[in-house]
Structure 1
């Protein structure tokens, strides 16, 4: 989002709120540091969006105090999409849908749901506890991008 004006008459405030900027920056740093995928890939964008949304909706302090919560939220068995929908509804009610941070979070969620990526069918994977199971990576399906971004973000958090 660009400010209305660059000559000092645009209201003086940030067009993008600091809490959203911090969430995106932290998500980007976590994924870059993890080095799991190329920074120009669609998977990277999905992971950054997923992590930024998780961080933004967690309403907490810095990463040192929040990593465990973020790991829990992005874990395999956590109902992440339901949690996102609930938190977005709470934020909209509390702050209003016109608040820039809420608007950016809503747009990010829309993009994560509507952007489809062709990938290994993550829904067909066995639970993480199944040892020695061979995964058929050729079984590919179209998935909402958050389905790839979530495990990628989780792995990046583990590497933090």
Structure 2
């Protein structure tokens, strides 16, 4: 299981969610380095949250650099068609037990749950990949220039491929 660091500021100090903060940092670095999307877009946030959630919920220990084994693991976990959504739900459920000192709730887990809730409940307007017609080099009967079909898609369905591509570009 991933190590968690709790730094207390004294008596009733707040617990610092170091594992979640590290996961967000790594996800942000991967996306910025890949230069795939403007950091101010909702799509970027979806990619960062999906990737941070994957990093946080995976069993790998937090290190300053991502070793090759971790990159390979992230590629497998974020691969399109993988059962990522079910994996996230199962991991979050398994982590329900309090892991902080004295039975306090894990602040990183609370942030991970909030990220997952946003990824699942937020829908973004995106191209419908299932409705894409013939390849552009084949003749088409349609004269419709605005033929791109757009649908409302859960944020995680856009963020996951973005995160996967960022990992590949690492």
TM range (shorter): 0.7 to 0.9
TM-score by length of 1: 0.81
Aligned to 2:115: 108
More helix as a share of residues? 1
Equivalent position SS for 2:38: coil
Indicate yes or no: 2:20 matched with 1:11.
no
RMSD, aligned CA? 2.4
User: Mind listing any 5+ residue stretches in structure 1 that lack a counterpart?
Assistant: 1-7, 127-131
Q: CA–CA distance in 2 between the matches of 1:137 and 1:60?
A: 44
In structure 2, the CA distance between the partners of 1:10 and 1:67, relative to structure 1 (3 Å rule), is same
Quick check: 1:142 aligned with 2:147?
Answer: no
Larger of the two Rg values belongs to structure = 2
Runs of at least 5 residues in structure 2 that lack an aligned partner in the other structure: 1-8, 137-145
Change (3 A) 1:137 1:13: farther
> CA, structure 1 residues 12+86, in 2 after alignment: closer, same or farther (shift >3 Å)?
same
TM-score normalized by the length of structure 2: 0.77
Is the contact between residue 97 and residue 103 of structure 1 (CA under 8 Å) also seen in structure 2? no
Structure 2 residue 85 is matched with structure 1 residue 81: yes
Report deviation, 1:99: 1.6
Partner in structure 1 of residue 41 of structure 2: 41
